Chains A and B, each alone.
Chain A
Amino acid sequence: MSDINSNIPEGELTSKWTKYKSSVPLVNPSNKRTIEVIIVGSGLAGASAAATLAEMGYKVKCFCFQDSPRRAHSIAAQGGINAAKNYQNDGDSVYRLFYDTIKGGDYRAREANVHRLAEVSANIIDQCVAQGVPLAREYGGLLDNRSFGGTQVQRTFYAAGQTGQQLLLGAYSALERQIGMGKVEMYTRHEMLEVVKIDGKARGIIARNLITGEIERHFGHAVVLGTGGYGNVFYLSTNAMGSNVTAAWKAHKQGAYFANPCYTQIHPTCIPVSGDHQSKLTLMSESLRNDGRIWVPKKKDDNRKASEIPEDERDYYLERRYPAFGNLVPRDVASRAAKERCDAGYGVGASKLAVYLDFKANTERYGKIEASKAGNHNPDKETCMRLGTAVIKEKYGNLFDMYAQITGENPYETPMRIYPAVHYTMGGLWVDYNLMTSVPGLYCTGEANFSDHGANRLGASALMQGLADGYFVLPYTIGAYLSKEISVKAIPTDHPAFVEAEERAVGILNTLINIKGTKSVDHFHKRLGHIMWEKCGMARNEKGLKEAIEEIRALRHEFWSDVRVPGTADELNTELEKAGRVADFIELGELMCIDALNRNESCGGHFREEYQTEEGEALRDDVDYAYVAAWEFKEGVNFELHKEELKFENIKVAQRSYK
C-alpha cells in the first residue's frame, strides 16, 4: 500500500536505534567545520538541535521571529515531561512508555519512531539536570514525578507549572553558549519565507529581517525546520500569537509532504472564551487533573452556584464513564466527553460552554495529611481546607493565579470553569526515520513534524519529543546525509535558485501590500478560525467538511482581493507579517478539511460523527485507514494523497479502552 519509504532500519524493534547509531556514517571533525546547517525555530526542538550540532562542530545558523530565542512558545508548556526512568518503582519501562504512546495515539503512529523516543527519554532528563534545569525534587533530594493522562505510572518530571520554561531556558543557555563561542550565528526577528532548492536538495532559505524588511539569502548544506505547530489556523488556540505554519507550508509548497493535517489536539482543560474580543485561549495544565475532579450538575440548565449543588446532584462524568482512568483519560476522550455534556445542556457558567474542575476533595485530603503530620489526628474541616490550600498552592500556585487574573474569580474558593480548546497539532511535515522530509536535505523536528504522536498526543510528551529530536536523534541522523555532502562547497547566494526563491517571496509581500482592500488581516483570520472550529474541530462530518472546503476557497479569494495591509515592506510591519501567515493558514485549512474528509474513520483527535461506537467512542477502521496520509502540494492549491502503511509488529492493535 505504501508509496513512500520511511527508511526504518531492519531488525528487532528494540535494537534498531542502537544498531543504527553505531553504523550511521560519520562526518570527521575537519569536515564538520565547513558544513553549514540552517535551523529555523528556537524552541525546544530548534534550540536543542542548534546547540548540539554546534557542539559537534558544524557551522550553524539559527533563526527565530521573536526578539530572543528564549521566547519560543515551548516556554509556555506547563505540566511536565515524560521519561521512562521508573524512579517511582511503579513498573515503568521503555516498552511501557512506547506502548502508552502508541495506544494513546490511537494506533496511528510509527512503531520504530515511538520506540526510539521512549529509549532516549531518560537521557533527556539527565541532560537537562546537568544543564542546571531546576526540576521539582522531593525532600530526599531526588527528582519528583507526577501523573499525566493516558498512563497508569508516574513518569512525568516537572518544574511547578513552568516545565516548558525551565527546559527551554536550559536549551537556550546551551544555544547562547555556542553563540558566545561564535559557533552559532543567531538571527532573531527574522522570518523564513522560502526554502531554496538546488538540484532537488534543500540548500538554503530566504528570510526577512523583520526590523528593516530586508530580504536575506542564506546557504546551508541542510535545512532543519523546528517551527512548531499550526493550531493558530483556528484563530483561537493556546498557541502564542506569533505561532504559525509559514515555514512548514513554504517547504510543503516546495515538495515536502504534509502528513495527517487533520489530527489536531483539543485540550480539555482551558479557560473558556469570555467574549468576542478574545485573542487567545489559556491552558490550565493537565497536571491539574491529578487533583481536580471534573463534574457538571445532574440537572439540565442548573443555574445554582457550584457551592450550592449538593454532592449527590453532581455528575462526575469521567469517573462514571471511565472508572479505570477516571479524570486521567487521554485528552481527546476528556474533551469529547466535556463537549457531549455541554451539547446535552449540562454546561455551566454564563455561556453554558464549560464544566467544573473542582479541587475541594483533594484540598481537604491534603489538609488531613498535613494536620496528621503536625500531630492533629482529628482536624476540623476548616483546618483541613486551610492546610490543604497551602499544599495546592505549592503545586499549582502559578496556574491558580493565572486563572484568577483572567477570569476575576478565586479558584481556591470556587471550582474552575474549563472548556476544551485547540492546543497541539499531531500532523505536520512528513518525515522518515531520519526526520528528513520528502525533500532531500530538509529536516523537520518537534511539533512541526508528524512523527510520534499518531492521532492523539499524550500529556507531557511534546517536551519529550522536541528535546529527543533536537538533542539525541537529529544530531545522529543528519550525519547520514551530510557525510555524503562533504565535497559540496558553500554555494554562492547569487545562484539562480536563490534569485528565483527571493523573487517568489518578494512577489507575495508586494502583492499583499498592494491589494489595499477594506478588511484587516485579523478579520480574515477570525473567519477562517470560525469555519475550522465549527466544521473541522472536535467533531466533524462529511457534510460540514464539504461545506468548509467551499467556504475556505471563497475566503481565500476574498482575502487575496480585499485584505488591507497598511505600511510598506521595508520596515517593521506586523500587519504584513500576519498577512503572510494567514494566507498560508487559509491554504492549510483547506488541506485539513480535505484530509479529515478523506479519513472515513474516527481516531484520536479526529472524530468523524459518522464513525462512532454505540457508546460514542471513536471507531477506527484499521483495514482501510491504518496509514499516514501524506499530501503532496500541486500547482494552484491542489493536493495529491500518498500513503505510508503503518505496520504494527510489536503491539496488538485493539479498540482503545480506558474503562
Chain B
Amino acid sequence: MSTGNMNLTLKVWRQKNNKTKGALVDYKLADISPDMSFLEMFDVLNEQLINKGEEPVVFDHDCREGICGMCSMFINGRPHGPKDLVTTCQLHMRSFKDGDTIVVEPWRAAAFPVVKDLTVDRSAFDRVIAAGGFISVNTGNAQDANNLPIPKMQADAAFEAAACIGCGACVATCKNASAMLFVSAKISQLALLPQGQPERYRRVQSMVAQMDAEGFGNCTNTGACEAECPKGISLENIARMNRDFASAKFVSEETV
C-alpha cells in the first residue's frame, strides 16, 4: 500500500450551467498518492468539498478503464493530460510531481457546449453517427459470417479505425475544433470492409454534411488530433475520408 505524500494546487474550471459564466477556482490538495488515478485524485477533492459543505466538481466519467470515452478533462493545456495514448481515467498521479500546479478545464468547442463545470455536451457525435455511421442491415438478414472472407490486413485496419472511443479529445485539441478524426474513423472502418461498400459514398456525404451542420470547424492538417488521441487513431483516416468524399461528389452517381 502506498502512502500519499504529494501536495498539489489545482485550478479547476467551475461553471454552474450553460447560461452562466465560469472561472478557474484554486484548490489545495495534500497527501495524494502517486498510485491514484487522476479521477481518484478528483474523488479526494470532492470528498473534501462535500465535507466542507461545498458543491463537488461535476465531471464526466464512467468505466475508469479507458474504454467508455466518457472522461474528458483538459489538463495543463492537453486533452487527457500529459501522457500519450491514455484517457484521463488511466492517467495516474505518478505522472505529476509534488508541488505541481495543475490546470483542469472542460473540452472547449462550439459544438460541445459546457453543461456544468468540466462536463460538456457531446451529443453532436451521436447525431453524426445517426446520419450514416452504420451499415443498413436489419436483424435477421445476415448470412453465415464465414461466407464473406475478409483479408486479415483489411480487417485489422478496420479494427484500428473502430477503436475510437468517441471521447472528443480530437475536437478539444484542434485549434479549429474540427471533428474530422472522429468522423473519418467511422467512415474508414466501414469503407475498409466489404459489408460497407453499398452505402460507402452515400455515407461519407451524409456524415460530413451532419458534421458541418453541428458547427465543427474545418481541418487544416495540423495533426494535433492524432497526437492527442488516446487510442492512436491515425490521420490516414482523414485522407481516406477526403478521398471518398471527393469520389462521392465527382464520381458517384449517388449524391446526398
Please tell me which one of the listed residues B50, B61, B135 contacts residue A566 in the complex, with CB atoms under 8 A apart.
Answer: B50
Smallest CB gap from B18: residue in A = A211
Whether the Cβ atoms of A130 and B137 lie closer than 8 Å is: yes
Whether the Cβ atoms of A73 and B85 lie closer than 8 Å is: no
Closest Cβ of chain B to A528, distance in Å, is 16
* Distance in angstroms between the alpha carbons of A260 and B62 in the assembled complex: 27
Cβ of B136 within 8 Å of any chain A Cβ, yes or no, is yes
Closest Cβ of chain B to A76, distance in Å, is 5
Cβ of B79 within 8 Å of any chain A Cβ, yes or no, is no
Whether the Cβ atoms of B166 and A70 lie closer than 8 Å is: yes
Please tell me which one of the listed residues B62, B121, B158 contacts residue A134 in the complex, with CB atoms under 8 A apart.
Answer: B158
* Distance in angstroms between the alpha carbons of A584 and B136 in the assembled complex: 40
Question: Which chain B positions have C-beta within 8 A of A129?
Answer: 142, 145, 148, 195
Question: Considering the complex, which residues of chain B in the window 91-128 have a beta carbon less than 8 Å from any beta carbon of chain A?
Answer: 92, 94, 115-116, 119, 121-123, 125-126
Cβ proximity bits B139-150 to A, threshold 8 Å, 1 near / 0 not = 111111110111
Whether the Cβ atoms of B92 and A408 lie closer than 8 Å is: yes
Whether the Cβ atoms of B130 and A177 lie closer than 8 Å is: yes
Question: Which chain A positions have C-beta within 8 A of B33?
Answer: 275, 277
Closest Cβ of chain A to B104, distance in Å, is 16
* Distance in angstroms between the alpha carbons of A139 and B152 in the assembled complex: 5
Given contacts A131-B134, A179-B130, contact A280 B189 (CB under 8 A): no
Closest Cβ of chain A to B48, distance in Å, is 10
Whether the Cβ atoms of B139 and A177 lie closer than 8 Å is: no
Whether the Cβ atoms of A130 and B134 lie closer than 8 Å is: no
Whether the Cβ atoms of A406 and B92 lie closer than 8 Å is: yes
Question: Which chain B positions have C-beta within 8 A of A242?
Answer: 62
Whether the Cβ atoms of B155 and A177 lie closer than 8 Å is: no
Question: Which chain A positions have C-beta within 8 A of B140?
Answer: 123, 127, 472
Closest Cβ of chain A to B150, distance in Å, is 5
Closest Cβ of chain A to B5, distance in Å, is 12
Closest Cβ of chain B to A412, distance in Å, is 16
Smallest CB gap from A178: residue in B = B130
* Distance in angstroms between the alpha carbons of A169 and B182 in the assembled complex: 14
Question: Which chain B positions have C-beta within 8 A of A160?
Answer: 159
Binding stretch for chain A, among B63-71, B169-177, B219-227, B234-242: B63-71
Please tell me which one of the listed residues A135, A159, A405, A571 contacts residue B90 in the complex, with CB atoms under 8 A apart.
Answer: A405
Question: Which chain B positions have C-beta within 8 A of A141?
Answer: 149-152, 155
Cβ of B47 within 8 Å of any chain A Cβ, yes or no, is yes
Given contacts A136-B155, A279-B40, contact A126 B35 (CB under 8 A): no
* Distance in angstroms between the alpha carbons of A238 and B8 in the assembled complex: 29
Question: Which chain B positions have C-beta within 8 A of A406?
Answer: 37, 90, 92
Cβ of B10 within 8 Å of any chain A Cβ, yes or no, is no
Question: Which chain A positions have C-beta within 8 A of B94?
Answer: 408
Cβ proximity bits A448-488 to B, threshold 8 Å, 1 near / 0 not = 00000000000000000000000110010000000000000
Smallest CB gap from A518: residue in B = B51
Given contacts A350-B1, A408-B35, contact A73 B68 (CB under 8 A): yes
Smallest CB gap from A401: residue in B = B85
Question: Which chain B positions have C-beta within 8 A of A139?
Answer: 152
Given contacts A129-B148, A165-B67, A242-B62, contact A520 B158 (CB under 8 A): no
Closest Cβ of chain B to A32, distance in Å, is 14
Closest Cβ of chain B to A398, distance in Å, is 8
Whether the Cβ atoms of B60 and A571 lie closer than 8 Å is: no
* Distance in angstroms between the alpha carbons of A123 and B143 in the assembled complex: 9
Question: Which chain B positions have C-beta within 8 A of A307?
Answer: none
Whether the Cβ atoms of A564 and B50 lie closer than 8 Å is: yes
Given contacts A73-B62, A572-B116, contact A66 B133 (CB under 8 A): no
Given contacts A176-B126, A401-B85, contact A277 B152 (CB under 8 A): no
Whether the Cβ atoms of A282 and B143 lie closer than 8 Å is: no
Cβ of B196 within 8 Å of any chain A Cβ, yes or no, is yes
Cβ of B163 within 8 Å of any chain A Cβ, yes or no, is yes
Cβ of A7 within 8 Å of any chain B Cβ, yes or no, is no
Whether the Cβ atoms of A522 and B43 lie closer than 8 Å is: yes
Given contacts A166-B162, A571-B17, contact A55 B60 (CB under 8 A): no
Whether the Cβ atoms of B152 and A73 lie closer than 8 Å is: no
Closest Cβ of chain A to B135, distance in Å, is 5
Question: Which chain B positions have C-beta within 8 A of A276?
Answer: 1
Cβ of A172 within 8 Å of any chain B Cβ, yes or no, is yes
Whether the Cβ atoms of A274 and B2 lie closer than 8 Å is: yes
* Distance in angstroms between the alpha carbons of A241 and B88 in the assembled complex: 14
Please tell me which one of the listed residues B63, B135, B162 contacts residue A75 in the complex, with CB atoms under 8 A apart.
Answer: B63
Given contacts A68-B126, A520-B47, contact A177 B60 (CB under 8 A): no
Question: Which chain A positions have C-beta within 8 A of B195?
Answer: 129-132
Whether the Cβ atoms of B142 and A405 lie closer than 8 Å is: no
* Distance in angstroms between the alpha carbons of A564 and B52 in the assembled complex: 11
* Distance in angstroms between the alpha carbons of A79 and B37 in the assembled complex: 24
Cβ of A439 within 8 Å of any chain B Cβ, yes or no, is no
Cβ of B75 within 8 Å of any chain A Cβ, yes or no, is no
Could you say which of B51, B53, B159 has the most chain A C-beta atoms within 10 Å of its C-beta? B159
Cβ of A492 within 8 Å of any chain B Cβ, yes or no, is no
Cβ of A125 within 8 Å of any chain B Cβ, yes or no, is yes
Question: Considering the complex, which residues of chain A in the window 49-98 have a beta carbon less than 8 Å from any beta carbon of chain B?
Answer: 51-52, 55, 66-71, 73, 75-76, 85, 87
Could you say which of A70, A123, A134, A574 has the most chain B C-beta atoms within 10 Å of its C-beta? A134
Whether the Cβ atoms of A172 and B139 lie closer than 8 Å is: no
Question: Considering the complex, which residues of chain A in the window 542-575 have a beta carbon less than 8 Å from any beta carbon of chain B?
Answer: 564, 566-567, 571-572, 574-575
Smallest CB gap from A467: residue in B = B139
Question: Considering the complex, which residues of chain A in the window 97-135 have a beta carbon less than 8 Å from any beta carbon of chain B?
Answer: 123, 125-135
Please tell me which one of the listed residues A55, A71, A564, A566 contacts residue B62 in the complex, with CB atoms under 8 A apart.
Answer: A71
Cβ of A140 within 8 Å of any chain B Cβ, yes or no, is yes
Given contacts A173-B135, A275-B36, contact A67 B50 (CB under 8 A): no
Given contacts A134-B158, A172-B129, contact A126 B145 (CB under 8 A): yes
Please tell me which one of the listed residues A67, A176, A401 contacts residue B129 in the complex, with CB atoms under 8 A apart.
Answer: A176
Closest Cβ of chain B to A430, distance in Å, is 26
Question: Which chain A positions have C-beta within 8 A of B55?
Answer: 566-567
Question: Which chain B positions have C-beta within 8 A of A471?
Answer: 139
* Distance in angstroms between the alpha carbons of A215 and B115 in the assembled complex: 18
Cβ of B204 within 8 Å of any chain A Cβ, yes or no, is no
Please tell me which one of the listed residues B63, B92, B119, B143 contacts residue A405 in the complex, with CB atoms under 8 A apart.
Answer: B92
Whether the Cβ atoms of A71 and B142 lie closer than 8 Å is: no
Question: Which chain B positions have C-beta within 8 A of A283?
Answer: 65
Closest Cβ of chain B to A31, distance in Å, is 19
Question: Which chain A positions have C-beta within 8 A of B53?
Answer: 566
Whether the Cβ atoms of B92 and A134 lie closer than 8 Å is: no
* Distance in angstroms between the alpha carbons of A188 and B115 in the assembled complex: 14
* Distance in angstroms between the alpha carbons of A71 and B123 in the assembled complex: 12
Question: Which chain B positions have C-beta within 8 A of A438?
Answer: none
Question: Which chain B positions have C-beta within 8 A of A51?
Answer: 139
Smallest CB gap from B36: residue in A = A277
Closest Cβ of chain A to B65, distance in Å, is 5
Contact sample, A vs B, 26 pairs, CB 8 Å cutoff: A55-B139, A67-B60, A68-B125, A70-B69, A71-B70, A76-B63, A123-B142, A134-B193, A137-B149, A137-B152, A137-B155, A169-B162, A174-B137, A211-B115, A241-B64, A275-B1, A275-B36, A277-B33, A277-B35, A277-B40, A351-B1, A402-B66, A406-B37, A408-B92, A566-B53, A575-B56
Besides A76-B68, A126-B142, 15 other A-B contacts (C-beta < 8 A):
A67-B60, A67-B122, A76-B63, A126-B143, A130-B143, A132-B196, A134-B189, A165-B163, A172-B129, A180-B132, A274-B1, A405-B66, A566-B50, A571-B16, A574-B58
Instruction: Report which B residues bind A (CB closer than 8 A).
Output: 1-2, 4, 16-17, 33, 35-37, 39-40, 43-44, 47, 49-51, 53-56, 58, 60-70, 85-86, 90, 92, 94, 115-116, 119, 121-123, 125-126, 129-146, 148-152, 155-156, 158-159, 162-163, 165-166, 189-190, 193, 195-196
Q: Which 4 A-B pairs have the closest CB atoms?
A: A141-B149, A180-B130, A173-B134, A130-B142
